[in-house]
Amino acid sequence: MIPDLYLAPERDKPEVDFKFSRHHLSLKGETYPENAAQFYGPILAALRAYLNDTRGAHITVDMDLIYFNSSSTKILLSLFEMLDQAARDNQVQLNWHYDPEDETVQEFGADLAEDYTALVYNPVAK
């Protein structure tokens, strides 16, 4: 079993709360680290290991990001691709939290729903 992963939020990094033991993954806050690949590398590696060992689970993903820059977006798309592939063997629900007044975040979530069709997309207005 992959150990749970928690990283406290920082000024430019989101809270990462991956409770692999409960099949609940959460990213919350802002993400614009100076080196997104370095920050997200270990997170994606842990997620990949978890998904490789998980079959028949109901995985809930809560994304509550209020800001993400372009380098973080590229990493997040890799994360969504992994989740979309995992949805072949699991049920993966993506709860996309957004402020109704923030059209950019709302539209990004809608685009995810169109691009990653294996995910159960659930828009959640705050």
Tell me, what's the pLDDT at 37?
95
pLDDT band at 1 (very low <50, low <70, confident <90, very high): confident
pTM of the full structure: 0.95
pLDDT of residue 45: 97
What is the predicted pLDDT for the residue at 105?
A: 93
Average pLDDT, the chain: 96
Q: State mean pLDDT over 22-39.
A: 97
For a pLDDT cut of 70, what percent of the chain falls above it? 100
Average pLDDT over residues 110-116: 95
pLDDT value for 107 = 94
One-letter amino acid of 100: P
Decide if 106 contacts 97 (C-beta within 8 A). no
Tokens encoding 114? 């169109």
Distances from the Cα of 38 to the Cαs of 13, 42, 62, in angstroms?
12, 8, 22
Indicate if the pLDDT at residue 8 is higher than 90: yes
Closest listed residue to residue 92, CA positions, set 103, 77, 82, 105? 82
Domains, the chain: 5-125 (3.30.750)
